[in-house]
Structure 1
């Protein structure tokens, strides 16, 4: 996909009278020189892989490091008591984000959306909606195009890798993608989709990448939860008519500026932030002895 700004997508939507997701699909068809059906089937394949990843979660499995595993199961057990502060839907979003992040750490097959470390955010908001039968496979596949278009623009204007821009580039981008997908599912306008993405990204601006022992486990898995919850709140704000006072593309540019200003110790090197706490250094030492 060749869009360089969210504004460019929005303008195409308005000029051609098409939804955001269709503008992204058209770009995919043009760039890869494939038919509409072939393009849609590829996106369906990504959605089916997300569903399979959700189904394959094993609450009894731990990552090789032993740092993560079982948290998704714990959240579901707590949720089943019916007394969560978050409510049923948000609690399921939290559980799903944990499960997908843990599945990644346990080497299950996941969809990088946009990265493996942020793989739990998008499915965490889409799978609960699907399980409640409030959106069909086709509708969610369409929303996946919306997410992909947002991710492509962020990758083009800034970055999506923690090593380049900190965790704001991974979880932040994933959260923006998920927020846009949710607005798309609710029939929001192209402008609302862009503003939802902007608010989600803005809320996580400056988030550092500081994996303990260099593993995409701590604090990464729990940050998928924050990205997913943030996406839901940003989508609701956009659907309510609330806008980002800073234009969406300028928010992406600001994320790039912040990422470039970050010290190298805060960009996936495992040398700063929580990765440099006494406990984290102890974990790293013990893992290196194994």
Structure 2
């Protein structure tokens, strides 16, 4: 079974970025050139940028009417200088909401790792880009770091809400984003692992309880909170804070927790917020 720690050790021994080791691994496994893989990842980055822009316009609404326009509200509040948490964090919140809203409105997004968690990674990376003045190449490399962790998460646990709860979707996205953010900010391979572990630990046990069975409530807003958790985890790791539990053990734990969850809390809309009085009323409106 693939281990994230193996890549960390290899990157440290070779004095390379984690993304460079993951890219080399994928070139060999997929029998494709660096240029081909870079172009594919660059196309993903373009879609991410486009979904952020589309969501921040505030013009889209989901068919249900439950989702749309909130990203624009946060962005407007931020630009007025009224942010409680600072320009960077509020910007990440707005971007995460923007992408998740575009998904709910059937727009084009990158499932990273899933459609329901699509807002976390672009929000975090594009926020760090603004802070660090990163190049597109650096961002693309950071996406390989996130993708490598995504592969480990898929093999050792799950990224499916139906299988592991929302911890497997938003939790995985937050871990991937935290790792990518650390590399983009100049952190070490070990720090990317610590950031991912801290982010994932913070999301353990999160249930998947879509109101009305739609990937809208509470899914969209969880993208925003997932992005802030990822940035907090990256900040701690870059400061030298270590995770007491290694990332692969945290991932394995997430997988076990997912198996222990009852089906009612895994995307069935039979538990959690979906069965509150308001949740039931919303569902009834769709029938």
Q: If the TM-score is normalised by the length of the shorter chain, which range does it land in?
A: over 0.9
Paired with 1:19 and 1:136, the residues of 2 have a C-alpha distance of: 15
Asked whether the 8 Å contact 2:51–2:98 carries over to 1, the reply is: no
What are the Cα deviations for residues 12-71 of structure 1, in whole angstroms up to 9, with x where unaligned?
112332210011101110111011111111111111111121222241221001111100
- Indicate the residue corresponding to 2:222 in structure 1: 223
Q: Does 2:232 match 1:233? A: yes
Paired with 1:35 and 1:268, the residues of 2 have a C-alpha distance of: 38
Count of aligned pairs = 286
- Indicate the residue corresponding to 1:13 in structure 2: 11
Q: CA deviation at 1:128?
A: 2.8
Paired with 1:258 and 1:74, the residues of 2 have a C-alpha distance of: 36
What are the Cα deviations for residues 71-94 of structure 1, in whole angstroms up to 9, with x where unaligned?
001111211221211110101000
Paired with 2:132 and 2:157, the residues of 1 have a C-alpha distance of: 36
Q: CA deviation at 1:132?
A: 5.7
Bigger mean CA deviation after superposition, 155-164 or 59-68: 59-68
- Aligned pairs (5 A) from 1:235-250: 235-250=234-249
Paired with 1:131 and 1:235, the residues of 2 have a C-alpha distance of: 15
Paired with 1:193 and 1:133, the residues of 2 have a C-alpha distance of: 17
- Indicate the residue corresponding to 2:162 in structure 1: 163
Q: CA deviation at 1:248?
A: 1.1
TM-score normalised according to structure 1 size: 0.96
**Residue ranges of structure 2 left out of the alignment (5+ in a row):** none
- Aligned pairs (5 A) from 1:269-284: 269-284=268-283
TM-score normalised according to structure 2 size: 0.97
1:54 paired residue among 46, 52, 55 = 52
Paired with 2:132 and 2:225, the residues of 1 have a C-alpha distance of: 24
SS in 2 for 1:122: helix
SS in 1 for 2:244: coil
- Indicate the residue corresponding to 1:70 in structure 2: 69
Paired with 2:51 and 2:94, the residues of 1 have a C-alpha distance of: 14
- Indicate the residue corresponding to 1:123 in structure 2: 122
- Aligned pairs (5 A) from 1:57-206: 57=55, 58-131=57-130, 134-206=133-205
Paired with 1:286 and 1:206, the residues of 2 have a C-alpha distance of: 30
Write out the 4+ residue segments of structure 1 that deviate beyond 4 Å after TM superposition.
none
Paired with 2:283 and 2:125, the residues of 1 have a C-alpha distance of: 35
**Residue ranges of structure 1 left out of the alignment (5+ in a row):** none
Structure 1 vs Structure 2 CA RMSD: 1.2
SS in 2 for 1:201: helix
